Chains A and B, each alone.
Chain A
């Protein structure tokens, strides 16, 4: 019997060493952008620890990432136009290309085969093969008399091999169908409002909503009924009120939908707006500590967590989605830039940039469980995003 055990043991060891068996799964892994050093830290949420770093990814100010569907690879979109494919198990850079002069974010297609990047300069979207990072399609964001290029923001994936994005300068929403990757079919929606700054797609992949910087309101597209066009929601939510200076552009993310409510940052106000998703009307406003940047629902939708623009970026506030009251104000430290919930919502990770660390909180007790060293951390991205539309 002993001998048998021994043999099995040797056998598995051989398998491991020869690379047939992966040493670990990746479902509890994530990456944290370390903007100053141009790298990411690979972290693990089962014991809340750091597994190492992958560096040499360029200028990662305002960087974001998406995952391959096997959760082994992450695609990191850098500010300098770099697109990096990294292997988070073996902690190495697989491939890096410079695909534009200045980029803002990206998305991965429904089938996982295409990675799209939205660019400021030259304005447009480029689409790459997720395996090789070879260019598949180039979609310049031409507007006006087709002689101008717009900066592109709010790029998301949508069901049916689609990518949807908005044109900051042009005030347009484009739906690109990549069913035939070499021949993208593009449907343009014009005059959607002034300066869309970011967008979200609802977790079911049905509604695409762009926030407007130049007007008080949001532009919504029902992807199940494209022929109905873009509808304006929350029109004039700040009418007659003095807008505050906006020190940082807010972000919109699909997971700010909780139950029948969507929670979004009000631009230039110390408020979170509550939208009834049955009819997309405004159903409330919540006064908060500063200008909201990220407004994120815990995965079960019971609470919404909010961080803020400078100079109020040392705090996090938690909203109860039943009473719409603020139930907790935390002070993790200066420069709370981003937070990410574990997939089942028990813990949330926050990056505290100015203190060079990550803080992990229990989302029920609000107790800080652990703090990890990180070099000017910004975005945090867990592998569970691989299986969510719009992330």
Chain B
């Protein structure tokens, strides 16, 4: 758990320092991290490698415009199973999530956590 917090705070530091954008506090960031992993994860996989929905890995997402990702999160995608999340997520929330996904930071956090639980270094 300590390691998880460490990674989360690292992640917070990284995003808070150079990029001035959406105001998402640390507590909310933790909520969002949990949300992405477990609720987005029910279709995209807990490790974001895909499921009924596509993988959300930086390899594919980093080449797409951020506004497109934010819009997909908030408004959903017509004729697919992706719902609009705007009733639960604000524009700032979605922007923060899109940035983390593009940089692969959420995935790194998960890997750190799952390694820890599997007793690996």
Contacts and interface: CB of A to CB of B under 8 A. Distances in A.
Interface of A: 35-38, 55-56, 59, 61-62, 79-80, 102, 104, 120-121, 151, 153, 168, 195, 197, 213-214, 245-249, 310-311, 335, 353-354, 375-376
A59 B52 contact: no
Given A37-B117, A56-B118, A245-B76, A102 B46 contact: no
B24 interface: no
Given A35-B46, A37-B117, A247 B38 contact: no
Contact of B81 (A37, A61, A195, A310): A195
Contact of B83 (A35, A104, A245): A245
Interface string B27-66: 0000000100011011101110111100000000000000
B83 A247 contact: yes
B83 A59 contact: no
Nearest to B113: A36
B14 interface: no
A375 B114 CA distance: 12
Contact of A247 (B39, B50, B52, B118): B39
Interface residues of B, number: 25
A246 B42 contact: no
A59 B46 contact: yes
B83 A79 contact: no
Nearest to A37: B117
B116 to A, nearest CB: 9
A18 to B, nearest CB: 33
Contacts of B41: 61
Given A36-B113, A195-B81, A246-B81, A120 B42 contact: no
A168 B88 contact: no
A249 B52 contact: yes
B104 interface: no
A245 B81 CA distance: 9
B45 A61 contact: yes
Contacts of A353: 38
26 contacts: A35-B46, A36-B113, A37-B117, A37-B118, A59-B49, A59-B114, A61-B41, A61-B46, A61-B47, A79-B45, A102-B45, A102-B50, A102-B51, A104-B51, A120-B51, A120-B52, A153-B52, A168-B52, A214-B79, A245-B87, A247-B83, A248-B42, A249-B52, A310-B39, A311-B87, A335-B38
Contacts of B83: 245-247
A311 B86 CA distance: 12
A320 B57 CA distance: 45
